[in-house]
Structure 1
Amino acid sequence: MSRQFVTEAVMLAIYGELLLTPVPVEYMVPYTSLLELYEFISSDEPLMSNSDDDKHVKEKIKELVAYLEEPLNKKKIQKGLNMPWAKSSSILIGETARITVINAMDTAPYGEFFDPVETELLLVSQREQVPLLTDQPELIHRIIDASVPVTVYDIDDFQFALESDPFSHHL
């Protein structure tokens, strides 16, 4: 059985360890998170504080975008966009890692406290009953403060999340 996490597409580009897991992992990614990758590539704003790290991360984002735009992968993603909340077929992105794109559509429930992509991450996590993986401590604090009923892991706790009981995701 593979472990499942909801995360942003950019996390898969920034953190290489997410693709090199000792156990099978499926990352559920809202489609709007994929669209953000294009914004990151074209933006002059740095993603990382170190310019060499920023260049490296932007190159990894370009590689991920190119991979997802390959005909078979693009077709899988497009098929998942036919209906709200539809899922793409899984796309292998490492030896043990795969990505499933979800056409999350509703941003209303948490729109006052979270941006649209964050809201979709939360809704996918709730809907699929899968923990959320993030590198944003402020997002974790806002989730806790808003009492959003999801399990969330900081990227620093990823190994712990992999080792924890896959059936104890719920708060």
Structure 2
Amino acid sequence: MRRRFVIEAVMVATYGHLLVPSRPVEYIVPYSTIAELYDMKDGADPVMEDPSDDKHVKEKIGELIAFFEDPLNKKKIEKALQVPWRQSSPLLLNENIQFTVVHALDNAQYGELFDPIETEVLLSGMKLETPILSDQIEFQERLIEAEIPVQIYDIDDFEFAVEEGIEPEDMFEQRDL
């Protein structure tokens, strides 16, 4: 069984270990985070502090963009973009990794606490009842403080999330106690 996670596209490019999971993984990526890749790749602002790391990550971002622009993948993505909250058919990177692009929409429900990308990530996690993977401590803290009913893992806990994790139904049962 594949473990599913909602994640921003740039994090997949930034954290190489996400591309070599110990078991099959499905990354659910809000489309707006794919669009953000183009700005990051070509923008003047560095993605990473170290210049050599920045160059490497921008190369990986370019590879991820090329994957999403592959004609078959692009067609699947464009089909998903026709209807709000539609998910693309699986985009297979390899035998252990597949991507699903979701046409998430920021409904301004959490607009004061979260930026539009964060809102789409958290709404995708809630709507699809899928855990979120993030490296942004402040985002994680705001989710907890706002008591948003979504499961989140720090990128550093990726292996735990893949190997053991906490099933969404278990999380909700514990909250009801």
TM-score by length of 1: 0.96
Runs of 4+ aligned residues of structure 1 deviating over 6 Å after TM superposition are none
Distance 1:112 1:48, change over 3 A: same
Per the TM alignment, residue 106 of structure 1 is displaced from its structure 2 partner at its CA by 3.0
The answer to whether the 8 A contact 1:19-1:95 is kept is: no
Distance 1:166 1:39, change over 3 A: same
Partner of 1:84: 84
Distance 1:76 1:166, change over 3 A: farther
Per the TM alignment, residue 42 of structure 1 is displaced from its structure 2 partner at its CA by 1.6
Q: How many residues align?
A: 171
Which of the two has greater helix per residue?
Answer: 2
Which residues of structure 1 form unaligned runs of 5+? none
Partner of 1:163: 163
Which residues of structure 2 form unaligned runs of 5+? 173-177
TM alignment of 1:1-171, pairs within 5 A: 1-165=1-165, 167-168=167-168, 170-171=171-172
Q: Secondary structure at the match of 1:106?
A: coil
CA RMSD of the aligned region, Å? 1.2
Q: Secondary structure at the match of 2:101?
A: strand
Per the TM alignment, residue 45 of structure 1 is displaced from its structure 2 partner at its CA by 0.6
CA distance in 2 between counterparts of 1:12 and 1:92 reads 14
The answer to whether the 8 A contact 1:6-1:125 is kept is: yes
Per the TM alignment, residue 165 of structure 1 is displaced from its structure 2 partner at its CA by 4.5
CA deviations on 1:14-52 (whole Å, 9 max, x unpaired) are 112112112111010100010000110121111111000
Aligned AA (2:53):
D
Aligned AA (1:48):
M
Q: Secondary structure at the match of 1:107?
A: coil
CA distance in 1 between counterparts of 2:168 and 2:117 reads 25
Distance 1:83 1:156, change over 3 A: same
